[in-house]
Amino acid sequence: MAGFLAQARLIVAAFALALLVISAAPASAQRNPDGSVNPTAQSVKEQQLLNALGTGGSISGRVSIPDQKSGNLIHPAGRDWRQFHEVTLRWIGAIAILGMLILLVAFYLIRGQVKLESGPSGRRIVRFNAFERFVHWMTATCFIILALSGLNITFGKPVLMPLIGEGAFAAWSQWAKYAHNYLSFPFTIGVFMIFLMWLAWNIPNRVDVEWLKEGGGIVGHKHPPADRFNAGQKMVYWIVVLGGTAVAVSGYVLMFPFYGTSIAGMQVAEIVHGVVAALFVAAMLGHIYIGTIGMEGAFEGMWDGTVDVNWAREHHRLWLEKEMAEGHISAPPPKGKMQPAE
């Protein structure tokens, strides 16, 4: 009898061991040979699990607070978004912005500054009034701070934090975020004012086609006629108006989360905001280049509001002719260089 009991105990133990081995098998199938977890193993294929649960791509529980989104436990689409946010957007931004900087340096080295070829006449004409300059510089100042604080959101952690340390990065990022939120308001107002005050001069027409065919006098050394704004400036204007509207709308969706948007809507807003902002910054680098070192005599028009008459004749002949016809400049401007007073 004792022998039979001992034998029965052995059989039960062997059976239990076999069960243990069988139940442990799936767990070992989830592991790579080196012991690390293999997330794509058959037994943990997430999509299969989600399909089996019939939950439509995510797993949610029940919560007793009004915000039902907080019951969302697993949302795989969020990982695609994270991949975009942490990898794709950084590539788009780096290629657009560094690419533009490289192009501008190459252009400056090859073409050099667009010179005032007929020299200064000594006569000046009003190009932008005080209100126009105020709106321009208010928008530009906001834009530069928005651009730097926005780039910090995308590139700060991998680029700046290792350089200045976690504490300093946290403090700077907090202030940068405040600036990014609050300066969005004057920036939006500025873009709207730019739209209204310069719309009349930015409707594309046949003069622009000719100007573009001639390389705008920037690629070559010709001076194709242009009105108050040439085709290149009209492009800048529409980039500012349309790009500014896109970043503003998507930005306010992000600033006031879930007011009429779902998680998917928020993700779309973030993608639009990030991509448009990166391209916008790259485009404005081109604008800043031509408004400063790229073209002799351009900056003054936006700084003190006046330009040399010879500059106006070389770059905006049709506009100068209209200004003269309206008597905004008293006498015909001298053709050549400035003559010494007698």
Residues that bind ligand HEM (CB under 6 A): 127, 136, 139-140, 143, 194, 229, 233, 236-237, 240, 284, 287-288, 291-292, 298-299, 301-302
Residue burial 312-326, b: 16+ Cβ < 10 Å; e: rest: bbbbbeebbeebbee
Tokens 């299969």 appear where? Answer: 48
Cβ-based nearer residue to ligand HEM, 91 or 238? 238
Q: Which residue is nearest to ligand HEM (CB)?
A: 291
Residue nearer to ligand HEM on the CB measure, 139 or 267: 139
| φ, ψ for residue 37, nearest 5 deg | -75, 135
Q: How far is the CB of 187 from ligand HEM (least distance, A)?
A: 8
- CB of residue 176 to ligand HEM, shortest distance in Å: 17
Output the smallest distance, CB 71 to ligand HEM, in A. Answer: 42
**Which of 81/143 has CB closer to ligand HEM?**
143
d(CA 136, CA 193): 9
Q: Which stretch of DSSP H or E encloses residue 125?
A: strand 124-126
| Distance, CA of 246 to CA of 251 (rounded, Å) | 8
The residue (of 143 and 211) whose beta carbon lies closer to ligand HEM is 143
| Cβ at position 85, least distance to ligand HEM in Å | 24
Q: How far is the CB of 327 from ligand HEM (least distance, A)?
A: 21
**Of 161 and 231, CB closest to ligand HEM:** 231
Q: State how far the Cα of 16 lies from the Cα of 293, in Å rounded to an integer.
A: 83
How far is CA 242 from each of CA 93, 202, 235, rounded to the nearest angstrom? 19, 13, 10
CB of 334 to ligand HEM, least distance (A): 21
- Residue 297 vs 334, nearer CB to ligand HEM: 297
We find the least distance from the C-beta atom of residue 313 to ligand HEM, in angstroms, to be: 13
In this structure, which long-range contacts are made by residues 305-308, counting pairs with CB atoms below 8 Å and at least 24 apart in sequence?
Answer: 305/126, 305/127, 305/128, 305/129, 305/130, 305/133, 306/124, 306/125, 306/126, 306/127, 307/124, 307/125, 307/127, 308/116, 308/120, 308/121, 308/122, 308/123, 308/124, 308/125
Contact 293, 182 (CB under 8 A): no
Is the CB of 169 or the CB of 211 nearer to ligand HEM? 211
